[in-house]
Structure 1
Amino acid sequence: MTGRRVVITGMGVLAPGGIGVKGFWALLSAGRTATRGITFFDPSPFRSRIAAEADFDPWANGLGPQEIRRMDRASQFAVVTAREAIEDGGLDQGSVTPHRTGVAVGTAVGATMGLDQEYRVVSDGGRLDLVDHEYAVPHLYDYFVPSSFAAEVAWSVGAEGPATVVSTGCTSGLDSVGYAAGLISDGSADVMIAGATDAPISPITVACFDAIKATSPRNDDPEHASRPFDRTRNGFVLGEGSAMFVLEELEAARRRGAHLYAEVAGYASRCNAFHMTGLRPDGREMAEAIGAALADARTNAQDVDYINAHGSGTKQNDRHETAAFKRGLGEHARRTPVSSIKSMVGHSLGAIGSIEIAASVLAMENHVVPPTANLHEPDPDCDLDYVPLTARDWRTDTVLTVGSGFGGFQSAMVLARPDRNLA
């Protein structure tokens, strides 16, 4: 960032197999997978019948009956993780100026589960062509308007500054944090609550990915279905979840004695303007985003200690990404450990970029690179160090995390220790 320096001082995570930051890291560092057969609805009509579901109880996570009635599942995720981030960051109503505190929430598909459920109600299970709105939940309008996610988080934490939703497909979780860091860097806000949320495990989402054969049909072995960079991979596994962060200006965070997890040192985004779902094999656009993010961070490719990959588990993406790392980092790419946590928590669409930021920060915090689970037979075309099966102790001071999304979006973020030398 070229203006004020921005740091992460609080985190909240809700992911399959791990509710809360500690549970999430326990899953990743152990290399366990949270993928299973879908339980939210009857998946038998579908090609892919597996997902990474979060064992989330809104009551147990502090939501009241009115909040549960009012909010879609994805909105509930965002509020719960924002509250965890605020508590983790040691913020309270007296320590921030409301009109200088903002919110940025990323999402790819908004209130998918709420809309799906309510359509079933108002259409009487799909029997009525002319739906009866009188049967709808009173807050159905909020499901149609993704901005309600930002509003709910802002109300929950008392933020009266900028509030927005960023929806750029599967890069939303990176882009929302990048956007929020930019507001602090240029002086438009002092504190931002930023991250992303998605709860897309619904019949309509499963049907859409079935249609383009993007998801894995390995229904007889869901635990091992997500296998990025493996020769036998055959698609990604849908997931859900949320991660939210407290972002602050560095010197202000130091003055209040906050724990400094990492600096959001650099961020960039590109679009390939090529194809809605296709990727060029040379990885040029992602490589350009990587180069721009490194320049923004005022750091060199040789300083990157770990790459948190998009690693969706589709042949097209994994090969495109491998080429992008080689193009963006040069020979240093071959010396840098890479891994994909989607192998363990699935692909939660817009939320995953923020969940991967959390994984990157925790890798720095613990000097441990989480593994790529289920990577037994590396694809010869994916010939970098993709850290298979077991976490690796590794000195990690600078992390590159990247995302790729339908529409051609390519985003990259550099996270670094705040005490780095910028001379």
Structure 2
Amino acid sequence: MTRPQRRAVITGVGAVAPGGHGREAYWDLLTAGRTATRRISLFDATGFRSQVAAECDFDPLAAGLTPQEVRRMDRAGQFAVVAAREAVEDSGIDLPAADPARVGVSIGSAVGCTMGLEEEYAVLSDGGRTWLVDHSYGVPHLYGYMVPSTLAVEVARLAGAQGPVALISTGCTSGLDAIGHGVQLIEEGSADVVLAGATDAPLSPITSACFDAIKATTPNNDDPRHASRPFDGRRDGFVLGEGSAVMVIEEAESARRRGATVYAEILGFAGRSNAFHMTGLKPDGREMAEAIRVALDRAALDPGDIDYINAHGSGTKQNDRHETAAFKRSLGPRAHEVPVSSIKSMIGHSLGAIGSLEIAACALALRHQVVPPTANLAVPDPECDLDYVPVTAREHRMERVLSVGSGFGGFQTAMVLGRPADVRPKPRPARRAARRPARKEAA
């Protein structure tokens, strides 16, 4: 498959993440291998099975929002706007000078304005004691909390975007899918600039209760710092998180003309579904493998061209084994040669937002030529036998990286990023013909 004539590149990155405010603090946390997981402080988690989370130390006023914006927006919306502002500033793009009809927005979210909705329901229902709620106690912008697309609208308002604006909600792949949608808008010619990413602020009693019920989150409350353990033999569930990452995505030639600094080119994107189970995964990883294969095909790449894999790596037994099998199925022998890591070990699983935070990490990894580690990986699971970069970040020459996501509902997404052509190192010498024999595929 040939690459499209219009190409999409990342020229700006903004992040609101656990463990630090802004893109640089986020990258510092990842490369230091620090975990931002702790006991939940945003609400009283006493009595819940899982009482740990990766929270953002976020002050909306200190982050530059006005009191009116704070009143109007749910925490997830506040995250998105702050991340988008940082991305625009980082890109150096003059949005007011751009044609507003050629500026688009694509924001992902799995659970929308969960915190605002739960807080308002508690007020309207007098703490759940009243079945017929009194709407007069609601905040003026309560309707906006009920419509997830308002998250994308807030970013569009910031950017003055009058082009395509969308909210993508595909569970835990929302962030990847929203960026993929933004790329498609660029490639098809519907926009020249897209603010794309995702946001979620799900740390509320209702979310915790839902994941407690299916035992997806970790009960390791006594050691929050080490509770998120992807690919480790002792892992017992994921750690909820929150946050946002938004990127400025531009048409490559337009970005070149204005002299923009490019983090990465988005080379290929694909999504698949397993049509199998709302929360279950087939152990063979076939659907994720197919998404990887198609993404590579669209990027006109072979498995041997991938230099790093940013794994979904949630820290549940079924997910880690599922995607390990998917890497082996799709990449063959290369799966045993390329470093793989999960940043959820440090920042938890922020549901729909995590895919965008992972793409931001991939863009930064390509710029700095450093692979973030998988923290807390001390006792490898024999069924997860790839190079998961345990504990310590690794300097590593990378030209192309793969990021994958897996979500409830059976969603499987893959995206391939590459260093911009003008900063790529010289091609590697030809690989030796002798390669280790292919290992038996995971069942």
Give the TM-score of the pair, scaled to structure 1: 0.99
SS at match of 1:244: strand
Runs of 4 or more off by more than 4 Å in structure 1?
none
- Give the conservation status (yes or no) of the 8 Å contact 2:96–2:160: no
Query: Do residues 25 (structure 1) and 30 (structure 2) align?
Result: no
Measured after TM superposition, the shift of residue 94 of structure 1 is: 4.0
Measured after TM superposition, the shift of residue 273 of structure 1 is: 0.3
* Pairing partner for 1:115 from 117, 129, 132: 117
Following the alignment from structure 1 to structure 2, what is the Cα–Cα distance between the partners of residues 97 and 253?
A: 15
SS at match of 2:241: coil
Q: Deviations over 1:19-44 (max 9, x none)?
A: 11100000000000000000011101
Residue segments in structure 2 that go unaligned for 5+ positions in a row = 428-443
* Pairing partner for 2:46 from 44, 47, 53: 44
- Give the conservation status (yes or no) of the 8 Å contact 2:268–2:299: yes
Tell me which amino acid in the other structure corresponds to 1:353. Answer: G
Following the alignment from structure 1 to structure 2, what is the Cα–Cα distance between the partners of residues 348 and 162?
A: 26
| Counterpart for residue 149 of structure 1 | 151
| Counterpart for residue 361 of structure 1 | 363
| Counterpart for residue 217 of structure 2 | 215
SS at match of 1:156: helix
Tell me which amino acid in the other structure corresponds to 1:81. Answer: A
Tell me which amino acid in the other structure corresponds to 1:326. Answer: K
| Counterpart for residue 12 of structure 1 | 14
| Counterpart for residue 263 of structure 1 | 265
Measured after TM superposition, the shift of residue 334 of structure 1 is: 0.2
After superposition, the CA RMSD in angstroms is: 1.0
* Pairing partner for 2:294 from 274, 292, 295: 292
| Counterpart for residue 88 of structure 1 | 90
Residue segments in structure 1 that go unaligned for 5+ positions in a row = none
Following the alignment from structure 1 to structure 2, what is the Cα–Cα distance between the partners of residues 27 and 269?
A: 30
Tell me which amino acid in the other structure corresponds to 1:103. Answer: V
| Counterpart for residue 393 of structure 2 | 391
Judge which range, 412-421 or 399-408, deviates more: 412-421
Q: State how many pairs are aligned.
A: 422
- How do residues 337-348 of structure 1 correspond to structure 2 at under 5 angstroms? 337-348=339-350
| Counterpart for residue 73 of structure 2 | 71
Q: Deviations over 1:319-366 (max 9, x none)?
A: 000000000100000000000000000000000000000111111111
- How do residues 290-329 of structure 1 correspond to structure 2 at under 5 angstroms? 290-329=292-331
Tell me which amino acid in the other structure corresponds to 1:186. Answer: E
- How do residues 153-232 of structure 1 correspond to structure 2 at under 5 angstroms? 153-232=155-234
SS at match of 1:192: strand
Tell me which amino acid in the other structure corresponds to 1:291. Answer: R
- Give the conservation status (yes or no) of the 8 Å contact 1:3–1:186: no
SS at match of 1:45: coil
| Counterpart for residue 335 of structure 2 | 333
Following the alignment from structure 1 to structure 2, what is the Cα–Cα distance between the partners of residues 287 and 336?
A: 16
SS at match of 1:125: coil
* Pairing partner for 1:277 from 264, 276, 279: 279
Tell me which amino acid in the other structure corresponds to 1:277. Answer: T
Tell me which amino acid in the other structure corresponds to 1:356. Answer: E
- Give the conservation status (yes or no) of the 8 Å contact 2:309–2:338: yes
Following the alignment from structure 1 to structure 2, what is the Cα–Cα distance between the partners of residues 303 and 93?
A: 35
Measured after TM superposition, the shift of residue 18 of structure 1 is: 2.0
Measured after TM superposition, the shift of residue 91 of structure 1 is: 1.3
| Counterpart for residue 441 of structure 2 | none
Q: Percent identity?
A: 68
